[in-house]
Structure 1
Amino acid sequence: NWQDGDREAAMAAFPDELLEQLAVWGTPETARAHFERFTDIEGVEAISVSFPRGADLTEIESTMRALAPE
């Protein structure tokens, strides 16, 4: 539905609970904890990170530094 332009239907198809399980969000500390959930899964060797369209290089670099393991 997203590609057809029906953004509301597409967003409604993904309940908040599903997004909370699949997405990384929150403060840097919370987001790192979300990443750890995925890295603790046996067989997971890499995690893909994407950024919204329009994010500039400064935002991306700042986010990557904030989310890097301590």
Structure 2
Amino acid sequence: MSTTTYLVQGMTCGHCVGSVSREVGRLAGVTGVDIELVPDGVTTVTVRSAAPLDTTRVAAAVAEAGYELTGALS
């Protein structure tokens, strides 16, 4: 089991949370997505997965939802 927290820019509302949750949740191996929304700031997206994920895949999923992954905490 792996847990990584990512930083995402541009999320402002519950719709944003739903979009990112859906896209990241579709990645193979993801077992859960928790988002702490910071409107007009940097939101944290914590992803639980069976194994560590490739950050470029997570960034692509976030971009597909319309937002920008700006870093990772762990």
Q: TM-score range by the shorter chain?
A: 0.3 to 0.5
State TM-score, norm by structure 2. Answer: 0.31
Q: Which protein is bigger by CA-based radius of gyration?
A: 1
The structure that is strand-richer by fraction is 2
Could you tell me the TM-score, scaled by structure 1's length? Answer: 0.32
Larger helix proportion, structure 1 or 2? 1
